[in-house]
Structure 1
Amino acid sequence: MWGFGGQFWIGMGLGVVLDTAVAWLLRRLEAAPVREVLFFPSRVTCIAELLAEESASGAAAEARPRGGPCGCPLPHGESPFRRFLACLLLARRSLDLCLFAFSNPHLSRAVLLLHRRGVRVRVVTDSDYMALAGSQIGLLRRSGIQVRHDQELGYMHHKFAIIDKKMLITGSLNWTTQAIHSNREHVLIVEDKDLVNNFLEEFEKIWEDYNPANYTFFQKEGKEVLKNKTKA
């Protein structure tokens, strides 16, 4: 038979083991890779507070009560777009965007916030769409963000983002208000090393292909003019 002292120490030992097991389980749950699917259209919800929290810094961010009223008349609560935006704002080191269409002003604001916070942002886009009214590409470029575009006959039709080289956001969704709030679309958000590396390799290839030093359409135009003059 165990005496009182023995039972006490056994109980203490079991308590320590249990606490350790719980702590380990919590760490595993916190470190679980993200695997999530969002479906659109998304209902309109307030995202002003989310963007304001990300733009604030230091004591101001700590002093503001989380979840407090922001005065916005829009409904509050979760939505696919709010979740999408929250994942985008997780970027701390790098954000690589490969997008056919980018005209949503809220997503543009989020990208600019990340840029001002020191996140390295690179954007690859389609040359035809970026010239349309409402495109945010010009604003991003004027703000100092690196932008490269295609010079091909086909479209640069990818729609993906890579966050900190470890999280992938991809799917059918163009970054437009129409797609977000009106279209049937899907977005996959995943932390998978192999998948992320595949998309990162594709991004780097396109980034180099679209290097302005490799652009040839000005040369082609000049050759065409010379050819017409020769015919005349």
Structure 2
Amino acid sequence: MERACAAAAPPAPEARMWRGKGRALLAFGLGVAFEALAWWLLRWRRRRLGTSSSPVREVLFFPSRVTCVEGLLAEEEAAAARRAPCACPLPHGESALSRLLARVLSARRSLDLCLFAFSSPQLRRAVVLLHRRGVRVRVVTDADYMALRGSQIGPLRMAGIQVRHDQETGYMHHKFAIIDKKMLITGSLNWTTQAIQNNRENLLIVEDRDCVNIFVAEFEKIWENYNPVNYIFFPQKEKQVLKKNKT
């Protein structure tokens, strides 16, 4: 009987205190575990969607030192060749041009280019490579400069890439690119060999939603304004065909 009463007696205050601390430590541990799990799931989701843990903030200055960029521009099916050492005499390593190419080639869904002048063979190869991979590429350029010797606009069109140009008295003087509608590349640099190798130029590369959306809206406005349906030099019959194809 005495033993039964002793067993039914309430626990001592010290035991209750330690039991309460145990529960608090358990709750704290579970909270830390859930927080760590949420952090891991967020990182996993970002990796799966192809997004980095922090937004891109990068500035490139030109002229760029000359380096070999063949490893970046190799076709996907030439992966083995890309891993092999390049035999060209150009120095290897990172440069402003190689970093720009890497950013451009990171496009997975869309690439919108609004460029005054485009004559760089390396950048043209990167744009065509994206087009072959299924990335939607659109190019807006200046009517006068796209016809100059060395312009890459003709080869882009021959590759099947959509190109539109102005028909205004002033220049289409923009110099920006939008990657997947989330990354902006803008600055003083024309995509020309002269600018890349000889000029003092700059590029700002950012992932900032508000800033990118402003440039997206500007590109879409220009793209529609430069619709071939609105070109004044097309005969009326050809304009009707363009309107019909558009619808």
Same fold (TM over 0.5): yes
- Secondary structure of 1:127's counterpart equals coil
Q: Kindly indicate whether the alpha-carbon contact (under 8 Å) linking 1:98 and 1:123 is maintained by their aligned counterparts in 2.
A: yes
Give CA deviations for 1:153-204 in whole Å, capped at 9, x if unaligned. 0000000000011000010000000100100000000001011110010000
Is 1:104 the equivalent of 2:120? yes
Q: Which moved more, 1:28-37 or 1:154-163?
A: 28-37
TM-score (norm 2): 0.75
Contact 2:189 2:203 in 1 (8 A): yes
SS of the residue 2:122 aligns to = helix
Q: Report 1 or 2 for greater relative contact order, CA contacts < 8 Å, sequence distance ≥ 6.
A: 1
Distance (whole Å) between structure 2 residues aligned to residue 45 and residue 183 of structure 1: 17
Residues 30 and 120 of structure 1, relative CA distance in 2, 3 Å threshold: closer
For each residue in 1:18-75, what CA deviation from the matched residue of structure 2 results, as whole angstroms up to 9, or x when unmatched? 9938x659939942000110000000011001111xx214xx53x5674x41112111
Paired residue type of 2:204: L
Please give the alpha-carbon distance, in whole angstroms, between the structure 1 residues aligned to 2:70 and 2:61: 21
Distance in 1, Cα, partners of 2:215 & 2:116: 15
Equivalent residue runs for 1:77-156 within 5 Å: 77-156=93-172
Q: Calculate percent identity across the aligned residue pairs.
A: 74
Partner SS for 1:44:
coil
Match 1:213 to one of 213, 229, 233: 229
**1:22-41 equivalent positions in 2, closer than 5 A:** 24=40, 27=43, 30-41=52-63
Q: Which stretches of structure 1, 4 residues or longer, exceed 6 Å deviation after superposition? A: none
The unaligned stretches of length 5 or more in structure 2 are: 1-17, 236-247
Equivalent position amino acid for 1:35 in 2:
R
Distance 1:123 1:64 in 2: 30
* CA displacement at 1:144 relative to structure 2: 0.8
SS at match of 1:69: coil
Letter in 2 for 1:170: T
Q: Distance in 2 between matches of 1:65 and 1:147?
A: 30
Distance, in Å, in 2 between the alignment partners of 1:17 and 1:65 is 42
Letter in 2 for 1:208: E
Find the counterpart in structure 2 of residue 49 from structure 1: 71
Match of 1:198 in 2: 214
Query: CA 1:171 to 1:65, structure 2 compared with 1: closer, same or farther past 3 Å?
Result: closer
Of 159, 182, 187, the residue aligned with 1:166 is 182
| Counterparts of 2:41 and 2:90, CA distance in 1 | 38
Indicate the SS of the match to 2:204.
strand
Aligned pair in 2 of structure 1 residues 209, 26: CA closer, same or farther (>3 Å)?
Answer: closer
Report if the CA contact (8 A) 1:99-1:175 is conserved: yes
Per the TM alignment, residue 142 of structure 1 is displaced from its structure 2 partner at its CA by 1.2
Contact conserved, 2:71 with 2:82, CA < 8 A, in 1?
A: no
Instruction: Decide whether the 8 Å contact of 1:151 with 1:217 is kept in 2.
Output: no
- Of structures 1 and 2, the larger Rg is shown by 2
Q: Aligned residue pairs: how many?
A: 205
Cα RMSD of the aligned pairs, angstroms, is 2.8
- Matching residue of 1:222: none
Q: TM-score when scaled to structure 1? A: 0.80
